Amino acid sequence: MIKNIFIFFIGSLFFLKSFALVEKDGKFALESLNDFNQCQEITTDGSACLHALDFWLEKNPNDFFQAAKMVRKKMNHQDAVIYFVKSVKVNSKECQDKDLRLSFLAAINLNRAHNSNTVDLALKLCIDLCPNDLAENVSGLKQKKYARENICKYTQNKNEICR
């Protein structure tokens, strides 16, 4: 049951945008996937938009890849890793996507002590899901302290950058 509908307007003399954030069962929800972009444009706290996006994806799981690309563009790149992991199959054509690669590179370079979940998802992406397409990116990370530590620990020093 819809309790409240919040319609946000951003306007000027030449420009008007609107979108709906709907509260359903105590959660915010988007009326469409594209409403995520408008939500990001008007809020300083992206967590409400991410919660609304998660609620949308529960009902629309085929939108995960497009959602991942939107999150990468509108938020910190590493925030999109979870959506990419949920959307790609092993060595699928999506593994060649530029947004996926940028999200992976941002996440794999994080300090694991403070971002273990995100780092684990990045490792799953590069080692398990997209090894062929991200191999070049992995080999270029030898001089990156956190990336090297994260990959070597995960692969038990079997990756070429660990040598």
Helix (H) or strand (E) holding 11: strand 2-11
**How far apart, in whole angstroms, are the C-alpha atoms of residue 60 and residue 50?**
15
Secondary-structure breakdown of the chain: helix, strand, coil percentages, each rounded to the nearest 5:
65, 15, 25
Closest by CA position to 123, among listed 94, 74, 159: 159
pLDDT digits over 2-38, tens only?
444 444 433 332 334 455 566 666 666 788 999 898 8
Residues contacting residue 14 through CB under 8 Å, at least 6 positions apart: none
The residue among 104 and 145 whose pLDDT is bigger is: 104
Question: Helices (DSSP H) in 20-129: which residue ranges?
Answer: 35-42, 47-59, 64-74, 81-87, 98-108, 112-123
What does the pLDDT average to over 158-163?
76
Tens of pLDDT along 84-124?
A: 999 999 999 999 999 999 999 999 999 999 999 999 999 99
- Residue 59 neighbours by CB distance under 10 Å: 8
Nearest 5°: the CA angle 126, 130, 133 is: 100
Reduce the DSSP state of residue 80 to 3 states and report it: helix
